[in-house]
Amino acid sequence: SDEVTQPPSVSVSPGQTARISCSGDAFSDQYAYWYQQKSGQAPVLIIYKDTERPSGIPERFSGSTSGTTVTLTINGVQAEDEADYYCQSADSTAAYPVFGGGTQLTVL
């Protein structure tokens, strides 16, 4: 199956660590990517190829993978990190992308 699943919401207090997981068979042979989307804005790539961070993305954002589950970790969460986060992979032939349903991160 191409489907990827992520929790609809995660809450964390400032300074704590937030973890958002995403699961799907696609991750067994395709990379994972993560996007941050703040309210009213376009998505922004924050993790690519499972663990890589584009230039300009803070070091507190990191990605990891284990089997068919990938995880976005945000260390020392800040108020500005409140946003929707989407994981993304691709079908088995990398012919089209597959998005998770999105996780709303609330900073308490």
Q: Nearer to other proteins by C-beta: 5 or 16?
A: 5
Side chain identity, residue 65: T
24, 72, 81, 102: which one binds other proteins (CB under 8 A): 102
Inter-residue contact 23 to 68 (CB < 8 Å): yes
Does position 79 interact with other proteins (CB under 8 A)? The reply is no
Token pair of 77 as six digits? 């969460």
Residue 37 CA: distances (Å) to CA of 1, 63, 80: 26, 17, 11
Q: Which is nearer to other proteins, 1 or 96 (CB)?
A: 96
CA dihedral 103, 31, 47, 65 (to 10 degrees): 70
- Residues 43-62 close enough to bind other proteins by CB under 8 A: 43-45, 48-49, 54
Residues 19-38 that bind other proteins (CB under 8 A): 30-31, 33, 35
C-alpha dihedral, 71 to 40 to 97 to 4, nearest 10°: 40
Cβ closest to other proteins, residue 58 vs residue 101: 101
Contacting residues toward other proteins, per CB under 8 A? 30-31, 33, 35, 42-45, 48-49, 54, 86, 88, 90, 94-102
